[in-house]
A and B are shown apart, each in its own frame.
Chain A
Amino acid sequence: MSTHTQATMTTVRSSVVVEAPIERAFEVFTKDFDRFKPREHNMLPVDIAESVFEPHVGGHLYDRGVDGSECRWARVLVYEPPHRVVFTWDISPRWQIETDRDRSSEVEVRFIAETAQRTRVALEHRYLDRHGGGWEGLREGVGGSDGWPLYLQRYAALLR
């Protein structure tokens, strides 16, 4: 599998080369998003019937549950077929919907034609520090907010 993943401190990068023209690569990423988004990542209390990528700026990425409920977990910031999409990641480090927009990270997906029939898809999930993951939570200096127990516990462990 020619996927490659590397990360700096607040960025996760992942890329893949697909045997398809750039237009098709872009189309499948957006229109067929449902076909590859890992289903087990589900913030709804019921199973996911469908995951939808609304193909325009201001649209959402959302999961629709089998009972019709929806979980909107991303907002489309840039939509430039067939080259680039950028969307927010409104999911907290605990895999819950983050309602504070200042605590969203950002995902950019670029499509680069390597040949007429081959496309490199480079994904960058950045500004992870915006989620707070401990840092912001600690900066706020207030206890009891339920956003970052994972990190708080981790830091607490360091104090023992």
Chain B
Amino acid sequence: METYRSDTWTALGDRTRKAIFELLLDRPRPVGELASELPVSRPAVSQHLRVLKDAGLVTDQPSGSRRIYRVDPDGLAALRADLELFWGKALAAYKGAVEQATEENR
């Protein structure tokens, strides 16, 4: 019996968990669907998901009688925030530049 630790490094060091994580990266899925795409049992998938969840890599929410698992977006949040700021600024400045250029061209 493997001893699970809530450690992110360990969490993705396991081949099956890495596969689960990659499937969730593609899109959110319930346990049953993950189990059907992997050569492991449903209880095993549940256990792996618990490790990923403890490590802060996935989140889950109920949907009817099932739970839908998804990648925790916090990992990308900082990068996204930076880029949103960057492109927001760039496009605002671009609008200024293009409209000024158009004025000058008239």
Contact = CB atoms under 8 A, between A and B. Distances in A.
A25 B88 contact: no
Contacts of A159: 6-8, 55
A123 B87 CA distance: 8
B93 A35 contact: yes
B78 A20 contact: no
Contact of A158 (B8, B76, B87, B98): B8
Give the most central of B80, B98, B102: most A CB within 10 Å.
B98
Nearest to B91: A16
Interface string B40-59: 00000000000000011100
A95 B81 CA distance: 13
A16 B94 contact: yes
A14 interface: yes
A38 B12 contact: no
A151 B84 CA distance: 18
A18 B57 CA distance: 40
Interface in B75-105: 75-76, 78-80, 82-84, 86-99, 101-102, 105
A55 B12 CA distance: 42
Interface residues of A, number: 47
A154 B75 contact: yes
Contact of B101 (A28, A125, A129): A28
30 contacts: A5-B84, A5-B88, A14-B87, A15-B91, A18-B95, A20-B102, A24-B102, A24-B105, A28-B97, A28-B101, A29-B98, A32-B97, A32-B101, A35-B94, A35-B97, A38-B86, A41-B86, A123-B87, A123-B91, A129-B25, A134-B75, A134-B76, A143-B9, A154-B75, A155-B55, A155-B56, A155-B57, A155-B75, A156-B8, A159-B55
Interface of A: 1-3, 5, 7, 9-10, 12, 14-16, 18-21, 24-25, 28-29, 32, 35-38, 41, 93, 95, 121, 123, 125, 128-129, 131, 133-135, 138-139, 141, 143, 150-151, 154-156, 158-159
Interface of B: 6-9, 11-13, 18, 21, 25, 55-57, 71, 73-76, 78-80, 82-84, 86-99, 101-102, 105
